[in-house]
Structure 1
Amino acid sequence: MAKVDIGKILEVDLEKNSYNINKYGRENIEKFLGGPGYAINYLMDEKTFNYDPLDNANVLALMTGLLTGTAYPCSGFYSVSARSPQTDIYGEGLSGGFFAAELRNLFNGIVFKNKSESPKYLLIENDHFELKDASSLWGLTTDKTIKALNSKHGKEYKIACIGPSGEKQVPLACIM
């Protein structure tokens, strides 16, 4: 597995269909220890706590930890962080699996900004990023979404996705 460039964050603007690679800095990784600490610092810098959780200005951060993608036991996790619609304060969840290691192989995290007019998914292949139409996936459960995407693209991807509760913005919905 390749070594990721420390402090590299992929910022995805869903409204503008644009991407930016932000060099957030090794000092922030060392100061906040990656994962949740890195995410809350990023959210504070973006001033997301000044907005309603479902406002266009809120961001969703998927961040890896210092050991994510290594052979260290229990290191296959990434954090999902934002201002929570359930509590109206910082919210965080952890998710595990192969997606975490694949994310860490390229970036320390992905930050989604703004809202799209229509359902989209982010396809990442090596250094190529593309937002694609997800209308055909709308309403599917997470397992059916994963099967549909792998079938559509002809290979097995490591996928993090939402299901119907996330689409309906249920406050306790999660990313699987």
Structure 2
Amino acid sequence: RGETGSIVRLALAGVALSAALAAANQALVLSNRDAFDEFRLWVAGSLEGRDVTVVESIGPMVAVGLVLAVAIAPSINALALGEESGVALGVRLARTQTITLVSVALLTGAATAAMGPVAFVGLAVPFVVRRAVGNDVRWVNAGSLLLGPAWLLAADVLARVVIAPEETQVGIIATLAGGPLFMAMMSGRQVRSL
């Protein structure tokens, strides 16, 4: 974001870059019919056909990401008081931001590689957990580690029974459940305190 840039500029730049890359991706996919058929199945996320080999391939990334997340949680708690207060408490800002970014990239990258993009689990679950346990990042991480898989499992069960004997993509069900919940929580009064 540069020396004088704001977080809003960073977010807008991310949205613009994402839209440009999505358009390029769609152009490539639509030019090949077989790729389009594969892409349709992958883009909504699915647990179908996933076995222990997937766990073996993403396990190291998940392990490193979790270790980093646990290690950096106290610094993130200090930064929740504000950047100036966090730095005054001894937090090394650039180091904390870098480790957080690496941890998030490893964990989300591994999850997406394993089952495709399953929207709103990573957005809605931490908000639900934060409402239950408070703002301590260590407790939010632990609660999300428990509630996230339970949420995904419930979405998968619903995906298998909604239009049985056919199966809906788990990402569609997770989004249908998580989207409205996330929007309701974001419109609530307590969002400013999060």
Do the two structures share a fold, i.e. TM-score over 0.5?
A: no
- TM-score between both structures, scaled by the size of structure 1: 0.28
Q: Larger helix proportion, structure 1 or 2?
A: 2
- TM-score between both structures, scaled by the size of structure 2: 0.26
Larger-gyration structure (1/2): 2
